[in-house]
Copies of this chain bind each other. A is one copy, B any other.
Amino acid sequence: MANKIIGLEDAAALVPDGATISFGGFTTQRHPMAFIYELIRLKRRNLYLFGHSPGGDWDILIGAGCVKRVELAYEADEAFNTIGPRWRLAVQRGEIEWEDYSNFAMVTRFNAGAMGLPFMPIRSLFGSDVLARQALSEEQRAADPRTSPKKLHVMESPFDPNDKVVLLPAIHTEFAVIHVQKATANGTVRFEGQSFADVQQALCADMVIVTAEEIVEEAELRREPERNLLPYFTVKHVCHVPFGSHPYAVFNYYDYDPRQLKTYHDGAEDEAAFQQYLDKFVYGVNNHTEYLEVIGGAERLNSLKADPEFGYSPNLKRRRLE
């Protein structure tokens, strides 16, 4: 079997400026944050992001000036901050291009790409401005092959003239980066808990990079093939990155870090404070190991460790955030 394990820095260096990319996870869990901090340190520019409900993974990339265009349904950390602060500012300042969809629509688009189809139908969006309006102009779409020539298309069913659906264009990205609990050197991965849309995001990408909390033996994961959702031959590179999703959670491994998230969100709308955050937690460290020290090291990380009975930390101190 193949050995697909490479270093995190080497993996991140594979992503060029202007690349189309999607990241796994959902709002506050399983984002490949360590990989994202590497991209920021590498000063990647003009990235095209595709997602359903990203959180701070996108927000800090946008704030660091790495992103040109996004297609999304939602951008926030939910109860930690109901609007991604850098996302909001970038839009209001005209610093970013975007197109609005719904979560179902974006997942359907990833699904179409994963299935090798040009589009997939859904029954949602009717009557909404998500369907009626578009943020990207025809010209912007026509000028850039990274974006679908049409946002969507409404059609009647050929099997029932009184029935209509919305067709959504497939997504194909050059890269998908997903953070999982367990992976093997051969590229077999194990999602624990919610799988979000990681499987579909991976399958519609030319290159899949997996960052994992733990590297395990192939035989261990093959004992339960029903739980291995991604064919190993679709995974190109595997990186071993413990706490790779901090400050976000990884079910069965560790909880989100409310203190770190508060530090980020309290300052994110202020230019100086946001730059300070970048300087201290991203530019100020050379790699993920140093990052884990700066955010509080073993003591902080142990306080986030998941209780095996729950898969999270039931005694985690959580501030009220509204």
Contacts and interface: CB of A to CB of B under 8 A. Distances in A.
B119 A123 contact: no
Interface residues of A, number: 28
Nearest to A159: B169
A163 B116 CA distance: 12
Interface in A120-165: 120-123, 148-150, 153, 155, 157-160, 163, 165
A167 interface: yes
B118 A120 contact: no
Contacts of A155: 158
Contacts of A169: 159
Interface of A: 116-123, 148-150, 153, 155, 157-160, 163, 165, 167, 169-170, 191-193, 195, 226-227
Nearest to A226: B227
19 contacts: A116-B123, A118-B159, A118-B160, A118-B163, A119-B121, A119-B157, A119-B158, A119-B159, A149-B159, A153-B158, A153-B159, A158-B167, A159-B167, A159-B169, A191-B226, A192-B226, A193-B226, A195-B226, A226-B227
Contact of A120 (B120, B148, B150, B158): B120
A120 B118 CA distance: 11
Contacts of A195: 226
A193 B223 CA distance: 11
A119 B121 CA distance: 8
B227 A165 contact: no
Contacts of A157: 118-119
A169 B165 CA distance: 13
Nearest to A169: B159
Contacts of A117: 121-123, 165
Contacts of A167: 158-159
Contacts of A150: 158-159
A203 to B, nearest CB: 15
Contacts of A153: 158-159
Nearest to A108: B115
A148 B163 CA distance: 14
Contact of A165 (B118, B122, B163, B191): B118
Contacts of A159: 118-119, 148-150, 153, 167, 169-170
Contact of A121 (B120, B148, B192, B227): B120
Nearest to A224: B227
A125 to B, nearest CB: 14
A103 B108 CA distance: 23
Nearest to A160: B118
Nearest to A195: B226
Nearest to A225: B193
A57 B159 CA distance: 30
A61 to B, nearest CB: 27
Given A118-B159, A192-B226, 9 more contacts: A117-B122, A117-B123, A119-B158, A120-B121, A149-B160, A153-B159, A158-B167, A159-B170, A195-B226
